[in-house]
């Protein structure tokens, strides 16, 4: 076909086949490619403890500790939370979850497995993010690094240095609990009392 073709050149039919497709996993395993042309990127390193960081940066012991603490704080705020130990361990592996009790309820969340730091030695403020990994055979995160908002890094946990997109360091919004549902959708109920068909299968697109 020439360059002037007016239709999509190829469509991966298997991606659109639905009949025998397995259900997609809750969090994208496909892996978000770290391509070179994306937004801004930060050379970042992953450490499993402040000591690990200090060994790599003997001249920055204070920063290593502070980055660890700020990652831990972010971890407490944004780690994925589960109602039961089972659900948490299914995703992260046996004995990889902690029980947490707060004023608004109790839940299970994975231990922080490491933290990612960038610009540690720059005069600019450095960034730090908690990271998780899974030991569960059922999890797409098994032996990989993943952030609290589900960003999965390429390669396995032995890799400790990445060119991470800046979005990795964006703070995830805090949610303690949902106070209400059903605040959208009422117009549909109101308008669908009108119509020629008893069972409405027609939507609100146009």
Residues in region 146-205 near another protein by CB under 8 A: 149-151, 165-167, 170, 172-188, 190-191, 193-194, 196-197, 200-205
Complex with another protein: residue 22 or 26, whichever CB lies closer: 26
What is the closest distance, in whole angstroms, from the C-beta atom of residue 23 to another protein in the complex?
Answer: 11
**Backbone φ/ψ region at 166: left (φ over 0), alpha (ψ -120 to 50), beta:** alpha
Give yes or no for residue 22 binding another protein (CB under 8 A).
Answer: no
Quickly tell me which residue has 């978000």 as its tokens.
32
Give yes or no for residue 15 binding another protein (CB under 8 A).
Answer: yes
Q: Binding mask 107-146 vs another protein (x if CB under 8 A, - otherwise)?
A: ----------------------------------------
Contact between 83 and 64 under an 8 Å Cβ cutoff? The reply is: no
Complex with another protein: residue 35 or 122, whichever CB lies closer: 35
The Cα 135–Cα 115 span in angstroms is 17
Contact between 127 and 99 under an 8 Å Cβ cutoff? The reply is: no
The Cα 141–Cα 71 span in angstroms is 19
Complex with another protein: residue 54 or 78, whichever CB lies closer: 78
Q: DSSP characters for 75-130?
A: HHHHS--BSSHHHHHHHH-TT-EEEEEETTEEEEEEPP-EEEEESTTSSSPPEEEE
Residues in contact with another protein by CB under 8 A are: 5-9, 11-13, 15-19, 24, 26-28, 30-33, 35, 37-39, 81, 149-151, 165-167, 170, 172-188, 190-191, 193-194, 196-197, 200-206
């Amino acid at each position: 076909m020439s360059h002037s073709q007016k239709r999509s050149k190829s469509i991966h039919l298997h991606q659109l086949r639905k009949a025998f497709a397995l259900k997609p996993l809750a969090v994208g395993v496909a892996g978000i490619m770290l391509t070179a042309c994306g937004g801004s990127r930060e050379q970042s390193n992953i450490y499993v403890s402040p000591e690990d960081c200090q060994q790599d940066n003997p001249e920055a012991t204070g920063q290593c500790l502070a980055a660890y603490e700020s990652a831990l704080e972010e971890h407490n705020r944004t780690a994925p939370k589960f109602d039961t130990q089972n659900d948490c361990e299914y995703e992260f592996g046996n004995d990889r979850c902690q029980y947490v009790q707060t004023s608004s309820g109790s839940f299970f969340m994975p231990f922080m497995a490491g933290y990612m730091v960038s610009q540690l030695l720059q005069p600019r403020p450095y960034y730090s993010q908690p990271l998780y990994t899974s030991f569960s055979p059922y999890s797409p995160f098994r032996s990989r690094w993943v952030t609290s908002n589900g960003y999965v890094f390429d390669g396995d946990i032995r890799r400790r240095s990445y060119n991470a997109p800046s979005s990795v360091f964006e703070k995830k919004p805090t949610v303690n609990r949902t106070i209400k549902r059903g605040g959208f959708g009422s117009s549909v109920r109101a308008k669908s009392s009108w119509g020629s068909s008893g069972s409405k299968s027609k939507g609100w697109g146009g």
